[in-house]
Structure formats: structure tokens, C-alpha cells
Copies of this chain bind each other. A is one copy, B any other.
Amino acid sequence: MPQSFHPPQRTLLGPGPSDVSPRVLEAMARPTIGHLDPLFVEMMDEVKGMLQYAFRTQNALTLPVSAPGSAGMETAFVNLVEPGDTVIVCQNGVFGGRMKENVERCGATPVMVEDDWGKPIDPDKLEDALKAHPEARTVAFVQAETSTGAESDTRTLVEIAHRHDCLAIVDAVTALGGTPVEVDAWGIDAVYSGSQKCLSCTPGLSPVSFSDAAVERIRSRTHKVQSWFLDLNLVMGYWGKGAKRAYHHTAPINALYGLHESLVMLQEEGIENAWARHQRNHAALRDGLEAMGLSFVVEPEHRLPQLNAVRVPEGVDEAAVRSALLDDYSIEIGAGLGPLAGRIWRIGLMGHASNARNVYMLLGALENILADQGHALEHGAALSAAHRAYAADDKDLKAAVNG
């Protein structure tokens, strides 16, 4: 008969889930109350307000879907796309492919705009696709490709979509909290994220936000939303501010305690400070990895600070390195997906896990393991490089503070 499960203490430096703060874990263990309890409803309003803060939006329809990020993606598509629609889907990694699946399953036609894995989406290609498909009503793309660590220019892509009278759906699963996602300033119509990346909460919830134009489209649909569970016309009845809450489904109470706590922590730090922290630790990790002779998949100007995709050096056993990290150091990093499987590692520094301690720990562990595998490197060079990066950043910070 199975016994209680006691997981080991890992350091999660993969593509997510990322390390969860003890504050969030402790919040998850607070007593369960009812999903219609007046005190729970107050907490829901706070979660909505703090998600508006994280998404930089005033959108009334901002809430966490009661399921993981994939369900957040599906929420965007099933609510905004109708059978017979044309949807332009930009793909430069795994998650654009998943968007295509969503479009097809809505009975609509995806028009694919393809870019190489590891490159950002090319705005000119999107513009061409929209000119060729004036019937398109929706554009969809991934801001931060979790499979490659490449960031696309959301502001420009949304602007192009709007110029062609399309709504823009943006995947911000890995972006939110680690790099700017300016929902209102950039005019994003539908955005979804995940709780387990730069928000440092446990997996299982998907924050979403919809613009007024998106809400208008949802309200004026000619077909019912194909998913009852994800139909925002119904979900709004439960999450609508001030309104009497109509029972829709039973919210995942304790998971929401965790998300609430992680958002309190984000507000305490200040989201701009969180973005700066992700940049700072990325720079130190980058310098350390490069000092070890590793190279990045993505060009510097399109790199996500929270997700570092690096090439596996010639002669090194990709999977053996990950196993050694996990078994000997209890550190998790990610493998490559699709065409990058076996060729890259994905090293996340997301949310709570983005700190100097983890940068030094990973560099030290990786140096040992690569040396064992016969990869030529200068011992100590990676840690020194990271140390210099932090020192340079401190100097810049001091200079900025002192004017």
C-alpha cells in the first residue's frame, strides 16, 4: 500500500515549474473554505486586482482560469474563434504549433507564419500573411517561446494585427513577471499565462486577461463556446466584480491561496524590480556559461532573461549531464523539444529561482559535470565571470542611484 509521498528538495532551473517560495507553499496549506464564502470572494477580488497589476491592465475580464496554462490557451481560442474563421498563427517553436491545434479544433482555418526555432517572429511575414488573408479576424503568437528562449516583439506584432482589423492573442506563459507584458500599452486583446513560471507559484492556474474588444466579440458570438468549462460568458458570472457570484464550477481554493501569496510578493518587490532582477541574474549566468565555452541558441537582442537555451557542446552527452545535475546536485534543468531535442539545454531563472545563489550553484555544478565528461574548460572561470557581471551591475546601480 502506498505511503505518504515526501518529495526531495530540488532546485528547479528548467523551463517551469520554477522554485516556489516557502511563503507560497505555506499559503497552500491554509484551511480550505467554501468557494462562495464571503471571505473567499473578497480574496478573489484581490487576486483579480493583483493580476491587473501584473498584466499592466485595467481590463475588467482579468482572472485565473482554474487549470494549467494549456487551458488558458484554450480559453483564448474557444472564446474568440468561431467555426469558419481564419486565424493567422505565428510559429517559431512548440507553442505556436499548439495554437494551430487549437484553431483547427475550433473549426477554423489556421494560416501559419513560420520562423526558425530560436528566432523571433518576423513582423514582415505577419504583414504579408494579413495582406494575403484579408478575411482573417485573429492573429495569435507566443511572446516568450518556452521551447527556445526567444522573445518576439509583441508591441509591433499587435499593432500590425490591429491595422488589419484583427484581434491579437498573446501567449505570455513564460513572459509574465520576468519580462514586460504591457497589456494596455500594447493593446493586447487576449493574453494568458501560467502560475508556475515567473510568478513562482505551483502549477495549475492560468491567469488570463481580455480587452473590451475581445469581450465584445465573445458577447456577440453566433455559435456557443464549444467548451462549457472555459466559456467566459459563464465564468464571468462567477468572477465578475461586485456582481452576485453565480456558481459555475468549484474554484481550486488552496491553489488560489498560493497564487494570491505569490502576487502579494510580486507587488511587494515591484514588477519593474522583478524584471530588473531577472536581467541581472541572466547577465551573470550568461557570462558564466560563455566562460565555460557554451553558446546561446538565441541572438542577444531577442533572449529571454528567464529562459536560457544553450547548445550542448560537441562530445558531451546531453541527457547524462541533466541526470548528473538531478542525481548529484538535485538541480533540474530542461531538455530541448522538437528539432532541438538532444541539442540544447534550457536553463530557467524564473521568479523566486532567479537569484545569485542559484546562478553560482548551477555554474559550479555544471563545470564539474562537463569537466568529468572531458569538455575542455578553465576551472573557476565561470564563477569568476558571473562574479564580475554582478560587480559591474552593482557599479551601474550605484552610479544610477548617485546620479
Contacts and interface: CB of A to CB of B under 8 A. Distances in A.
Interface of A: 1-10, 12, 14, 16-17, 19-20, 23, 25-35, 37-40, 43, 46, 49-50, 66-71, 73-74, 98, 101-102, 104-106, 194, 196, 202-204, 224-229, 247-255, 257-258, 260-261, 263-264, 267-268, 326, 332, 337
A250 B196 contact: yes
B202 A252 contact: yes
A106 B225 CA distance: 10
Nearest to A330: B33
Contacts of A14: 34
Contact of A5 (B25, B32, B43, B70): B43
Given A2-B267, A16-B250, A105-B226, A66 B67 contact: yes
Contacts of A3: 264
Contacts of A337: 247
A342 to B, nearest CB: 14
B30 A25 contact: yes
- Among the interface residues A6, A29, A30, A68, which one has the most CB atoms of the partner chain B within 10 A? A29
Nearest to A231: B105
B34 A10 contact: yes
A163 to B, nearest CB: 30
Contact of A253 (B29, B203, B254, B268): B203
Nearest to A265: B4
10 contacts: A10-B31, A14-B34, A28-B29, A37-B332, A67-B229, A68-B252, A74-B227, A202-B255, A203-B251, A254-B258
A332 B250 CA distance: 15
Contact of A9 (B31, B102, B106, B196): B31
Given A5-B27, A226-B226, A226-B227, 14 more contacts: A2-B260, A2-B264, A4-B27, A4-B261, A5-B43, A5-B46, A10-B37, A12-B34, A17-B35, A68-B249, A74-B227, A194-B250, A202-B255, A203-B252
